[in-house]
Amino acid sequence: MIVNTELEQKGNQFPSAINSFVKEKDKFLITTENDVLLQITVVRDSVLRFRYAPNGSFPKDFSYAISEDAVRGYNHLEYSEEKDRYIIKTSKLQLHLNKANLQKTIYDIDGKLINQDEAGFHWEYSYEHGSDIVKMSKAEQKMECYYGLGDKPMHFNLKGKRVENWVTDQYAFGKDQDPLYKAIPFYIGLHSDISYGIFFDNTFRTFFDFGDERRSVMSYWAQGGEMNYYFIYGPEMNQVVTNYTDLTGKPELPPLWALGYHQSKWSYYPESNVREIAQKFRDLKIPCDAIYLDIDYMDEFRCFTWNKEYFPDPKGMVDDLTEQGFQTVAIIDPGIKIDKDYDIYREALEKDYFCKRADGPLMRGKVWPGECNFPDFTNPEVRAWWSGLYKELIEDIGVKGVWNDMNEPAVMEVPTKTFPLDVRHNYDGNPCSHSKAHNIYGMQMAKATYEGVKQFVYPKRPFIITRAAYAGTQRYSSSWTGDNVASWEHLWIANQQVQRMAISGMSFIGTDIGGFAEQPTGELFVRWIQLGIFHPFCRTHSSGDHGDQEPWAFDENVTNIVRKFIELRYKMLPYLYTAFYQYVEEGTPMVQPLVLFDQKDHQTYYRTDEFMFGKQILVCPILEPNSKGRRMYIPRGKWYNYWTHDVVQGGKEVWVDADIDSIPLFVKEGAIIPKYPVQQYVGEKEIEEVELEVYYKEGKEKSVLYEDANDGYDYKKGRFSYRTFKLTGHKNQLIIQQHKEGSYVTPYTKFKLDLKRLPFEIKTIEVDNQETSLSKLKVNGNTSLEVDKNFTELHLIGK
Ligand code: GLC
């Protein structure tokens, strides 16, 4: 039977008619006359998994992406047979399966079309790859838009584009360049106000085509492996992302210092230079929590060694830095220098831990140390060994975080920039070639690092940052977007990449602020800092070839503006930490593109620049030189300009002033934003008072505040403090109700409420039904009020 002549002529094969349909618990097994096997698993009411085998049998089921903790189970499942189709129904979805050709159509429970196969599953034998290229094609729905897919440096809406997932070291990449450092084969579709996602859990080189090759057809395929994908229904885009994140795993909370400002360069050395940089931050009173040691701290780039000439006493230095409130983060790359006098090399060699070519010799390639061999991180025994290597660095020397780089794996001076495809991998007991293991190599290195650091830094929390990633890497590590460039275009790219990564399950992400390659002007650096403080991971890093990139490297005006914005980050730490908690608990992205924030507003579909930082703050970076402001889109609803407190009605584009010392910033009406006092580093001060900025609204809005000991695991035993504030505003009344959960006792005793644009003059204050004196009230421009942190209801009544 010919399903699609065009595809058939190109050598594709298709399933024929269904000849058996069997239900086994949560699975359906369907076979066709030409021996195609389809397995449908009902993972949740809104999540279906599809596996296809062209030749009637599946290989062992194994995935690095899917989390063991993923929620499984459904409320309702039924199926029926009609003349031409089978129908599977959950409480959220209905799947129609065409008996003649195995094509699928998915509807919501009310019969609204969500997603439909075009040719559906098909495949083509590839002589070159020695396997089938497994393919899926879908009909593009009217006005359908596409989002997601990790770190693609292109327009936020992927409609009309084709992208490739192959983890690649892409120094000084350009706009639209593809592929880059991450492979996250997950996209989100949106049409008719309905959103769904597809996660193609295949680690081979994969491609996604959003109407580029054939108009009105969306397709994806892999150069090997299985057609194995998850269909995730929303209808809200946020539900798609939270469900995807649940499936591929959520991280644990990082230590709070990891959300502070970090300073890095390739490289700070010798020791005196590191100390100088640290001291300068304190002298200039620019908050900073971490300082990075790039490859030059090592002895000829041998991992887990120190250059004793530059760093004669690593522990002494790290201790002193800790004393000054700096955490030290050190880089570790995968390449192990071929050197018989290097104990780690000898040990890995003796224990047979290195990757090998198909015919037996060790995989050998050039990286920073020169010729190297590479541990096979897909072997659990190798990972355990690698974890153990961190003992000295973390437990003895006191380094607090580890930076994994070059783990694509990158190889220098070869055209493919990586291993040859014949290299063998253990793949957790499923031996395979590099074609299959390439995209998860870096992820497995990050996993081994995470497990080691976690063990040796205990009872504190680990902090890992990785460059390469596959879907699910968020369980182990934060990440940055690799070797960008100090250009205005890259500032735009930075914004796209962070938003895209956040909706691809990896919220703990940032860019090299100021650009890695080349030198930013002071103005560009300022604009990048203004964006970077709203990214979950906030680090300045540069190649160091073109001059310095510390906050004081430009002029005094730059230093002052940079200080102002880093201070703002520190004030907003409780808000950011709360967003992290929501990410950990619910899978909610910490940065939200406008289309996710309000998908019913079609104006948001092609927006790129504006985004939500957490759930209540709207940010729009200035992306051009010599700007005094910019036009931007304000989403529906009412918003307060953060700087002027003027209220704007959204749903339209407006001009916003933002001279060099400002960035367009808005707060959602009704929000209560918690703020800490400025600290030079997390834990410098005991927090005595938390400020709550209250943005009056006539109506209701809910805000939350999560806090704990900022490190350690007590929070898992319930020692956290989770406050919910419900604001209800009337013409001359404002009510704030507080509900508290968790047993952590915060060190502060009171809140200072900063009431923005209260439309009435306060006559009476009632705290928990008791009238209180007006003496706690201050009115000078703004109205502020001190209240006990444990109030349950605050009632402000106007004259
Ligand atoms: C890579 C990294 C960069 C690092 C450099 C030296 O280019 O992406 O961040 O500074 O290697 O280690």
294 and 181 in a common domain: no
Q: Around Cβ 691, how many Cβ atoms within 10 Å? A: 17
Instruction: Please compute Rg for the chain using Cα positions.
Output: 27
Q: Does residue 339 register a pLDDT over 90?
A: yes
Whether the pTM exceeds 0.95: the reply is yes
Q: Tell whether 613 is covered by a domain.
A: no
CATH number, position 760: 2.60.40.1180
Distance from the alpha carbon of residue 266 to the mean position of ligand 1, in angstroms: 7
CA 522 to chain centre: 28
220 and 301 in a common domain: no
Average confidence (pLDDT) over 429-458: 98
Structure confidence at residue 786 as a pLDDT band (50, 70, 90):
very high
Q: Tell whether 297 is covered by a domain.
A: yes
- For residue 266, give the ligand 1 atom closest to its CA: 10
Distance from the alpha carbon of residue 512 to the mean position of ligand 1, in angstroms: 10
189 and 313 in a common domain: no
CATH number, position 165: 2.60.40.1760
pLDDT digits 0-9 by tens, 31-83: 999 999 999 999 999 999 999 999 999 999 999 999 999 999 999 999 999 99
Distance from the alpha carbon of residue 405 to the mean position of ligand 1, in angstroms: 7
Q: Token pair for residue 263?
A: 């300073």
Q: Does residue 1 register a pLDDT over 90?
A: no
CATH number, position 424: 3.20.20.80
The residue behind tokens 């444990």 is 790
Q: Does residue 751 register a pLDDT over 90?
A: yes
What region does 190 belong to: left with phi over 0, alpha with psi -120 to 50, or beta? beta
Q: For residue 507, give the nearest of 532, 479, 483 by alpha carbon.
A: 479
Average confidence (pLDDT) over 740-746: 98
Q: Token pair for residue 154?
A: 């292109």
Q: Tell whether 173 is covered by a domain.
A: yes
304 and 237 in a common domain: no
- Which pLDDT score, from 0 to 100, does residue 112 have? 98
Q: Tell whether 659 is covered by a domain.
A: no
Domain hosting residue 703, numbered range: 686-798
Residue to mutate, 516, 539, 540, 545, ligand 1, most ligand atoms under 8 Å from C-beta: 516
Task: Report which protein residue has its CA nearest ligand 1's atom 4.
Answer: 266
310 and 241 in a common domain: no
Distance CA 53, CA 36 (A): 6
303 and 218 in a common domain: no
Distance from the alpha carbon of residue 294 to the mean position of ligand 1, in angstroms: 7
211 and 127 in a common domain: yes
Residue to mutate, 170, 294, 478, 546, ligand 1, most ligand atoms under 8 Å from C-beta: 294
Residue to mutate, 331, 405, 412, ligand 1, most ligand atoms under 8 Å from C-beta: 405
Q: Does residue 2 register a pLDDT over 70?
A: no
Show which of 434, 454, 480 is a domain's final residue. Answer: 480
Distance CA 775, CA 645 (A): 25
Please list the alpha-helical segments (H only) found in 163-299: 237-248, 271-283
Percent of the chain with pLDDT over 90: 97
- Which pLDDT score, from 0 to 100, does residue 3 have? 62
307 and 233 in a common domain: no
- CA diameter of the chain: 87
Structure confidence at residue 799 as a pLDDT band (50, 70, 90):
confident
Encode burial over 221-240: b for 16+ CB neighbours within 10 A, e otherwise: bbbbbbbbbbbbbbbebbbb
Contact at 8 Å (CB) between 147 and 595?
yes
396 and 343 in a common domain: yes
pLDDT digits 0-9 by tens, 519-532: 999 999 999 999 99
360 and 298 in a common domain: yes
Q: Tell whether 680 is covered by a domain.
A: no
Residues near ligand 1 (Cβ within 6 A): 266, 294-295, 331, 405, 467, 482-483, 541
Average confidence (pLDDT) over 639-653: 98
Encode burial over 103-113: b for 16+ CB neighbours within 10 A, e otherwise: bbbbbbeeeee
- Which pLDDT score, from 0 to 100, does residue 123 have? 98
Q: Does residue 677 register a pLDDT over 60?
A: yes
pLDDT digits 0-9 by tens, 152-161: 999 999 999 9
Average confidence (pLDDT) over 459-465: 98
The residue behind tokens 């009431």 is 755
Residue 716, C-beta contacts closer than 8 angstroms, at least 6 positions apart: none
- Which pLDDT score, from 0 to 100, does residue 773 have? 86
Q: Tell whether 620 is covered by a domain.
A: no
Q: Token pair for residue 605?
A: 């579909």
Residue 432, C-beta contacts closer than 8 angstroms, at least 6 positions apart: 424, 425
Q: Tell whether 621 is covered by a domain.
A: no
- Which pLDDT score, from 0 to 100, does residue 4 have? 80
Looking at every residue in the chain, the average pLDDT score rounds to 97
Number of separate domains in the chain:
3
313 and 230 in a common domain: no
The residue behind tokens 């437990």 is 395
Show which of 248, 278, 298 is a domain's final residue. Answer: 248
Show which of 433, 465, 480 is a domain's final residue. Answer: 480
Average confidence (pLDDT) over 304-309: 98
Average confidence (pLDDT) over 186-203: 98
Q: Tell whether 608 is covered by a domain.
A: no
Average confidence (pLDDT) over 324-331: 98
Q: Does residue 230 register a pLDDT over 90?
A: yes
Average confidence (pLDDT) over 188-197: 98
326 and 206 in a common domain: no
Distance CA 357, CA 624 (A): 49
Which residues belong to the active site?
405, 408, 483
